[in-house]
Structure 1
Amino acid sequence: MHASEDYWLSRQEVADRLKLPVKTLAQWSSLGKGPRFAKIGKFARYKLTDLVAWEDAQFSDSPDAA
């Protein structure tokens, strides 16, 4: 994906994509976990390229991963 194709997602859009409650993303952000985001005013915004990179990093090659 090229930078020109990148765009910002709201916390709700990310939660919908990951099928998680918005509250989970808020908790992760306070713990320094989860996908990278920017604070724009009072809103958390996620770049699609950062979210995709974070999603890809979640895969485990470990046979113990369940």
Structure 2
Amino acid sequence: MAYLTNREAAELMHVHPGTLTQWRNKGRGPKFIKLGDGKQPRIRYTDTDVKAWMDQYNMTPEARDKAGAVA
């Protein structure tokens, strides 16, 4: 298990770091660890939590077609 910064987790997920921050502030996205309680606490994600969260959104081609996605 590796600990990832917000930037590293965002890179793994192929999203902008700001998007990941917004998701976190809205209660979305993968589990995270908050280190410290000052004005700038350090946020870390485990690679396993990020990958598990991403796995929730895996779709087969058939499921994607039913959802209305375009190939």
Q: For this structure pair, what is the TM-score category when the shorter chain's length is used for normalisation?
A: 0.7 to 0.9
Pair 1:19-2:22 in alignment: no
| Count of aligned residue pairs for this structure pair | 61
CA distance in 2 between counterparts of 1:54 and 1:65 reads: 22
Identity of aligned residues (%): 34
TM-score (norm 1): 0.80
In structure 2, the residue matched to 1:3 is none
Please say which structure displays the higher CA radius of gyration.
2
The one of 3, 16, 31 aligned to 1:8: 3
Q: Flag structure 2 segments of 5+ consecutive residues without an equivalent.
A: none
- Runs (4+) of structure 1 exceeding 4 A deviation are none
CA RMSD of aligned residues (A): 1.4
Q: Flag structure 1 segments of 5+ consecutive residues without an equivalent.
A: 1-5
CA distance in 1 between counterparts of 2:68 and 2:58 reads: 9
